[in-house]
Each structure stands twice: as structure tokens, then as C-alpha cells.
Amino acid sequence: MKNLRLKLARIEHELSQEELAKTVGVSRQTIGMIEAGKYNPSLNLCIAICKALNKTLNDLFWEE
């Protein structure tokens, strides 16, 4: 399942995949794969992404 909430939050903050990746210490490809639903990030990476985008885990990663 694609993570469109992550992509939208990243775009709201006017960040490219590469800029977000540098902020959280991963490659651009990792961010792209998370957004595409092809990579399941660790909890630590999820938390780092949430902090960078000022969102909660529920906002970005909880499936309803």
C-alpha cells in the first residue's frame, strides 16, 4: 500500500525526497520506497520522519 500521507506531508513542508532523506539519515531511494509501499521502515526511522515533518506516527503510518 502506497504511503500517500507521507508524500503529502513531505510536499507540505516543501521537501524533496532527497532533502527528507538527508534530514533523517537515509538514502533518497529509501524515502521513495517507503512512499511507494515497497519498504517497511524501522520504528526509529518512522519516528525520525515524523519529527522531521512535525507529524505523529498515527498521522503518517497508522492504517485505518
pLDDT tens digit sequence for 13-63 = 999 999 999 999 999 999 999 999 999 999 999 999 999 999 999 999 987
- Predicted TM-score (pTM) of this structure: 0.92
Per-residue confidence at 2, pLDDT binned at 50, 70, 90? Answer: confident
Query: In the chain, what is the straight-line distance between the N-terminal and C-terminal CA atoms, in Å?
Result: 12
pLDDT of 64 = 66
pLDDT of 25 reads 97
